[in-house]
Amino acid sequence: MSIDGIRQKKKYFWDIAKNGNRHWLAANMNGEAFLGFGAFNTKKITGQDTIDFIKFRQNIADSRLWDEQMFGEVMGSPKE
């Protein structure tokens, strides 16, 4: 009975916030997650499995467009 009571409260708050959470997830998957997965996938080519998060955040603060040029600045460069 107590587990069902806890689940009811969690479900209630999830139902209230699910649209906002869904939109945040969609925005994140098209930005940071896209870059992170790409960096992990190209580790053999670039030698690093993360992006330059500081540069990425600076670009966001400067209101840069999320285009290939901006993504290229934060992704690792290919090894020689």
Give per-residue pLDDT as tens, 15-56: 888 888 888 888 888 888 889 899 999 999 999 999 998 999
Q: For residue 61, what pLDDT is reported?
A: 94
Residues 67-76 have pLDDT tens digits of: 889 988 999 8
Element housing 6 (H / E)? helix 2-29
What does each C-alpha distance from 41 to 6, 45, 47, 52, 67 come to in angstroms? 40, 9, 11, 15, 19
- The reported pTM is 0.64
Question: pLDDT band at 2, cuts 50/70/90?
Answer: confident
Residues 46-63 have pLDDT tens digits of: 999 999 989 999 999 999
| φ/ψ (deg, to 5) at 18 | -65, -35
